[in-house]
Structure formats: C-alpha cells, structure tokens
Amino acid sequence: MSAKVNDDLLTERRKCEFNVEELTNYLDGGAQATQNRRKLEDKVLSTKGLFDEVPEEYLSHKEKYENAVRKAVVYYKAMKEAEDPNQTEQERANATYRSLLHAAVFKDNSPFSLHLAMFIPAILGQADEEQKKYWMKRASKMEIIGTYAQTELGHGTFIRGLETTATYDPKTEEFVLHSPTLTAYKWWPGSLAHTANYCVVMAHLYINGKSCGIQPFIVQFRDEETHQPLPGIKLGEIGAKLGFNTVNNGFLGFDQHRIPRNRMLMKNAQVLKDGTFKRSPNSKLTYGTMVYVRVVIVNGMANQLARAVTIAVRYSAVRRQSELKPDAGEPQILDYVTQQHKLFIGIASSHAFTLTAKWLTRMYQKVTADLEKGNLDELPELHAIACCLKAVTTTDTSVLVERSRTSCGGHGYMLSSNLPQIYGLVTAACTYEGENTVLMLQTARSLVKALEQAQSGKRLSPTMSYLSEKVSSRLKWDNSIDGIVKGFRRVAYGKVESAMRSMRKYVRSGLGPEDAWNMSSVQLVAASEYTSISEADIRQLQDTYEDLLGKIRPNAVGLVDAFDFRDQILNSTLGAYDGRVYERLMEEALKSPLNAEPVNQSFHKYLKPFMQGKL
C-alpha cells in the first residue's frame, strides 16, 4: 500500500490550474514519447543490483568507485536490453533526451560517462569511414571502454599549447607518443585511471621535425585481457574532488609509446605512409567533439535544474515555518514571496534551457550536415553560439541549483536531499568542455567581428543580426514580450559597442591590439553573457514580475510535477512525490553506520581518558 501523501501537497495538486500530463507530454515531445520514456524507466529501474545497499556517502573513496563500476555494468546491460528494437533512432533519442535515468543509479556520475559522452562522439566526428566502421563496432558493444584525453597537467584551455607529442616514424609507419615533461601528462580525463583501456588522445603531430598541429589519435593504454598498463604508459587517479568522485578521472604519461599509423583519426587531416601530411580543410574541425558536447551540456543543464527545483518546490510546499500574520499559524514557506522569487526563476530557466537546447541541437545537426558536404560557412557561428550557451546555462544552473539548496534551510545541506550532489555535478560543467570565461571570450571575438561587419554595411548571420539594427538609443519599450526583447537587444548592442569603444580607446593610447583586448576583456565577457536594462524600466518590470509570481504560486507544484521525475531519479529525502519529508530524513539518518551502536568506541579509546585527565 503506497504511503499517505502529505496533505499540503494534496491541496497544491488540487489547486493546480492546468493539465500536468499535457505539459509532461509537451516536454517529452508528445504523449507517445512520454509513454516510451516511462516504459524505458520502468524496465531499467526494475533491474536487480542497480541500487546501493549502503548509501554511497558512507563508503570510502575506493569503495565508492568499485560500487559504481558494479552498478555501471548492470545499468549498461539493462539499458541495452530495454532498447525497443521497433523504435526509430529518433524515438530512442527522445526517450532518453529528458530522462535522467543514470541519476537514479549514480548520485555522482558513472565511470562509463566519458565512453558515451566523448569517446564515441570523437570516433564519429574524427575517424575516416574505415576507422569508424572498425572502432564503432567495438565501442558500441562495449568490447572496449574509452575516454577523451586532451587536457594536460599544464594546459587545459590553450589547446595549441598542449605538450604531448606524436612523432611520425616513416621507417616503421608508426607514431611515437611522448610526454616530454610532467606538465605534459594527460590529467583529468574521466574513466582514465582504472576503468578505460582506450582513449582518443589529442597530441601535437610532428613529421620530419615540422609541426602539423594538434591531431586526434586512438590509443590503447591497458591490456585487454589483464588490464595492466601497456609498456611506456604511466597511469593513475588524480584524487578526490568536489564531485565526480566515481568518474575515475586520471592521469596518463607516455614514454616513447609507439602506435600504428592507422591510429591517427584521419577524417579531417591525413598522414600517408611516406609521411606526407594532408592538411584539414579547417584546423578547428579537430575541435568538433567539444562543440558537440557543449551542445549536449545545454540540455543536460535543463534536466539537472528541473530536478533541483522539483526537490525545492515540493519541500517548500510541505515545510511550514514562522508566522506571516499573527495567530494565523505557520504558513507554507512557499507562501513567502522571497521563496517564490528564489525558486520560480529556476522553473522558468529550466524550460528556457530545454527550448534553447532543442534549437541549438537543430543548428548543430544542420551545420554538421553542411560540413559533410564541405560547406564550413556556418561553423564559426555554431562555435560562438555553442560557447555562449554552454557558458550561460552552466553558470545560471549552478547559481539556481545552489539557490534551490539554500532555500531548503538545513535540510538542503544534507546529502540525503541530493541537492549538494546535483550542485557538484552542474558546477563542474562551468569548467569542463571549456572554462566559461574562455568560452565567453570566444563569443565576444565573434560579436566584435560582427559589429565591425555591420558598421561597414555587411549582412550578418541571424543570431548576430541585432548588431545591425539601427535601434534608437531613446527607444521606449513597454512591458510586452516584444517590448522586453527589443529592450534587451538594444542593451546587448550597447554592451558590444561599449567594449569596442574601449578597445579603440586603448589602441589610440598606444597599446597593441592584444593588450587592448585584454584591458577590455571584462566588458567583452559582459557583452557576451550579460544584458541588463536601465533603472527606470526595472521598477515597471518589477511590478509585473511580482504580479507574475502570484500567478505562478498556485501552479508551482503542478509545474514541477510536470517534469515527471520519479522518486528514484530525484533520489532525495526532500523531493519525493508523497512529501513525507520528515519520515524520510529519519529513515536515511538511521542508515548512518554511526547509528549502529549507542556508544562509539572512540569514547572508551579517547573521550573518557581525555575527560578524566588521563591523556
């Protein structure tokens, strides 16, 4: 018999003014997609051995990893078996697009995540047809487990500064991989330490002493039978982190490690047997895997943020605290407008990121199809947009997840709420796949170029077209959506123009272009991410805003119910559908090993002699 649902949550659900299932269907891409997702979740989550006997937080660092590998093999097998052979690729993609199934199994991400998130995309995007056929067969069947090894101890952002070398030896038709310094060691790749046995390595190619730029190589680094590191390979784990502690991030050093010529992924650039180098049509095509993952991250942020606000809004409907009016009893904390302000932006942002992710994915698919036909025209715009949206969505999601945590008071600080772990997952994305400041500066680079083109009368790409609108600075905008958008476009234009004026001022003062860029870089980042509107209009918008909060209030629980996260995926004492918060907090607390006995052994060993002055 299912447990009794909290009365306040029942009331909230009765108050809701819209059809929750309809919104769920919309988010999934239709009623059938909702059904497919639920069917997949039912199948996979009914698999034995997927969940923890002891809560992960009470395991050691090593036990956490070993437990995660145990679950990863069960999970991956269950996912494979749950695949419906009659489903189209698109239906399968839709069923997983919104599902955070892995979050029900791994609070801190899977040791296989890089295999699926980067190793396979790198093969698909960087291998020639013959290589793709061979490696995809092995990788898709998990005969091998891979990762993506680009970052080094000494370099993450500056890819052209990577020190790992790949020197072509025409006599043996091999590449010699070498880490000339400690800072050249690959450092950070997920699964690298003890899980994977292959990786795509980004290394500096040299032929006859000449630099041929950064190229991708598929490298085996562990024996497939014994899992021992191969000769000339130094491997290890980089240590405990804020989060991602079951992702097994590692380090790898090469000592004159030889690989066959056909291990360089040769879709874009090629090395012939005699050492002839055939250059890529665009050297940045090698960076394609990063563009792909940045696109995926935007959708991932939408889902993770939705999970956090679901937990916080349901808890805020159950938690009663303080006194809003004398003798009126303790109100639900969701009735405080400050609480609504903290949480409703998170609901709206998750929807905004979902729609943005869909738009960006379509743009990525179009540009990738064009690249296949040799048309690179829209690659720069895709790069700029992917950089901006990855940076903005990860920054905003980190802020909003942390705000969801602090809006739940002390209970939000409990690991059993799962809000700290969700924060650990999303805040990592501000750094990986391109540190956010660096990516915003990439976008700024495109904005400055676009404004210069606009000022010389050239046509701009659709996403930059606001820079060619001669919008009057005395524009008055109203509270309509159109008016607000016009206002934001006007201010965004002003930010880019101001940054450019600043750079020109520095150049006139005698600085070189690079120093002028650096001196203006704070403004350049603001131009890429930040748009604010002038003081006078904030008051007008503020009234509208507070009015909107009131309109959302009766529907808040319905809006998060529509995300349709089952309890196992929320994995939270505060966010369960039935709202039995206090019973769950106690149930989880009693699982602490410290509660197995009333007096801990440290009393007799340390406390008692200490208090009796015997230590």
| Region of 122-130, 331-339, 422-430, 555-563 interacting with ligand LSKO443Y (CB under 6 A) | 422-430
CB burial of residue 262 (10 Å; 0-12, 13-18, 19+): middle
Residue 425: contacted member of ligand LSKO443Y, ligand FAD, none (CB under 5 to 8 Å, by partner type): ligand LSKO443Y
The C-alpha atoms of residue 228 and residue 234 are separated, in whole angstroms, by: 11
296: left (phi over 0), alpha (psi -120 to 50) or beta: alpha
What one-character DSSP code corresponds to residue 53? S
Tokens of 163: 């020190």
> Is 340 among the residues that bind ligand FAD (CB under 6 A)?
no
Minimum CB separation of residue 525 from ligand FAD in Å reads 9
Site for ligand FAD in 65-124 (CB under 6 A): 114
Q: Are 91 and 33 in contact (CB under 8 A)?
A: yes
Is 469 one of the catalytic residues? no
Of 381, 402, 433, 529, the catalytic one is: 433
DSSP-H helix ranges across 88-237:
89-97, 101-105, 113-114, 120-126, 129-140
Longest dimension (CA), the chain: 90
Residue 464 found at the interface with ligand FAD (CB under 6 A): no
109 counts as binding ligand LSKO443Y under rule CB under 6 A? yes
Q: Which does 437 bind (CB under 5 to 8 A by kind): ligand FAD, ligand LSKO443Y, none?
A: ligand FAD
User: At its nearest, how many Å lie between ligand LSKO443Y and the CB of residue 294?
Assistant: 8
| Separation between Cα atoms, residue 166 and residue 175, nearest integer Å | 6
What are the residues facing 149 on neighbouring strands? Answer: 201
Task: Among 157, 455, 540, 595, indicate the residue that binds ligand FAD (CB under 6 A).
Answer: 157
Number of residues interacting with ligand LSKO443Y: please give it, by CB under 6 A. 35
**Of the listed pieces 152-160, 345-353, 364-372, 397-405, which binds ligand FAD according to CB under 6 A?**
152-160
Of 29, 111, 125, 189, the one binding ligand FAD by CB under 6 A: 189
Residue 195, annotated ligand binder? no
Among 119, 287, 432, 517, binds ligand FAD (CB under 6 A): 432
User: How far is it, in rounded angstroms, from Cα 363 to Cα 371?
Assistant: 12
Residues 6+ apart with CB under 8 A from 476: none
Min CB(300)–ligand LSKO443Y separation in Å = 2
Q: Indicate whether 303 belongs to the interface with ligand FAD (CB under 6 A).
A: no
Helix (H) or strand (E) holding 237: strand 233-237
Angstrom distances, CA of residue 572 to CA of 103, 368, 539, 567:
11, 39, 38, 7
Query: φ, ψ for residue 238 (rounded to 5)?
Result: -85, -10
User: Does residue 575 interact with ligand FAD by CB under 6 A?
Assistant: no
190 among annotated binding-site residues: yes
How far is it, in rounded angstroms, from Cα 250 to Cα 245? 11
Q: Please state at what angle helix 31-45 crosses helix 61-82, rounded to 10 degrees.
A: 130
Residue ranges for the known binding site for FAD are 151, 190
Residues making contact with ligand LSKO443Y (CB under 6 A): 109, 113-114, 117-118, 148, 150-151, 156-160, 190, 284, 287, 290-291, 293, 296-297, 300, 304, 379-380, 383, 425-426, 429, 432-434, 438, 442, 445
Binding site for ligand FAD (CB under 6 A): 114, 147-151, 155-157, 188-190, 244, 249, 428, 431-432, 434-435, 437-438, 441
Residues designated catalytic: 433
